[in-house]
Each structure stands twice: as structure tokens, then as C-alpha cells.
Structure 1
Amino acid sequence: MDISALRHFLAVAAEGHYSRAANREHVSRATIEASIASLEAEIGRAIVEEHEDGVSVTEEGQIFLEEAAARVSNAPAEPVNRGGKAKASKGKGRAPVVKGEPKPFKKRQGR
């Protein structure tokens, strides 16, 4: 089982709502729902029920909640992603030469 999916399940159980759990975990709501769906497929039982005002954990989910909390607490800490922008390489402005193709031309003429 994926540790991030277990963390998402714990967040849903604590918050009682997909959107609030997504905000708590800093991911999209779709990611939270996909994690829950993958856990339910792996377990073979429903672990959450959707209602008009949120989400509740089923009886099977309550049993699984203890196991998920134990697995997350025993898991090694994930490295922190510092983020940042990827830097594009600045080439010469020419496309690479491909064998069997005509040579690419310069897009701008020098003076």
C-alpha cells in the first residue's frame, strides 16, 4: 500500500470532507478521491461513505484506520520537496540534424 494514499485516508477520516483533506495534504481533491478509490480496490471493501455534507468512515474503515495510522507512523519520513522552477537550456536556436532529413535553416539571419 502506498504511504501517501494512507496519509490521504487519515486526512479524510480526520476532516470528514474531501476538499478539507485535500487542503490539509496540499494536493487536489481528485488526488484524494483517487487515493481512497485505490485503497478501496486494494482492500476490497468500502472504507468511506459520501454524504451531502461530507464523508464518513465506514465500520470497515474504522478497523482499517488503526492499521493505516500504524503503517504511517512506522514509515520513514518523506524528503521535503523544496520546489523551484526548472531551468530551460538555451541552445543555439537550431534544431538537431537528423540523418536522412534536410539540414534545418536558421530562423533569424544574422547581420
Structure 2
Amino acid sequence: MKYLKHRGYTGSIEYSVEDQLLYGKVLGIKSLISYEGETGKDLEQDFKDAIDTYLSYCKEEGEKPEKPFKGSFNVRLSSHLHRQAALLAMEAQESLNSFVAESIRYRIDQITGKQKHSDIADV
């Protein structure tokens, strides 16, 4: 899947058959920032304008803009899977956080066929 990117923010690209319109929203933040366009070029420009407007608003209001994909999230597991992961992490003498991060890296590598992710920071 392709995404729009601007100033560290990532946006989705969707299509509405009913409206015959491209649209999307900024991903990885709680605030709803949406955009639309009749063409890909229009969509990309509206996305950039939406991000710039959001950042300008935050600056004017003295608010800190939300950081997308800030690096922490809750994961809900069965107690059995949680126990297995925690015990394996202890046996490997690493934190559960490191174990989970490495497991996610491994799965991403499987899906994308890549061996290294320079854009994924070590935890």
C-alpha cells in the first residue's frame, strides 16, 4: 500500500466510489486530520495543506503537535502468550519490550522480504 508523507506525517489514500473522490486521513495520531481531492495531485496538495494548517494552528495556540507513531502502544495478548513471551525474554536475558520489538521486526522482514530496517529504531 502506498502512503502520502509530509513533515514526518503519513496519510492514507482511499477512494469513494459513491463520491468519485480520493480521500484520506493522517495516520498514527489521535486527532482527525482528513483531506480529499479529485486527482492524485489534488489529494497530495490537500494532504500537505492539512498538515501545514495543523502545525500552524498548534504553533498559534502554543500547543505541541502530536507526534505520529510515537513508539509506544498497548498490545493485548492472551495470558498464555504473554507468559510464553515473558519467559522466553527472561531466558534470553532481554526485556519483554526488546523481545516484542524484535519479534515485530522479524515479522516485518518476512512480509516485506527485507533484511534490515534503517528506519526502525532499536528499542
Task: Find the structure with the greater CA-based Rg.
Answer: 1
Shorter-chain TM-score range = under 0.3
More helix by share: 1
TM-score scaled by structure 2? 0.23
Which structure's relative contact order is higher, taking Cα pairs within 8 Å and 6+ residues apart? 1
More strand by share: 2
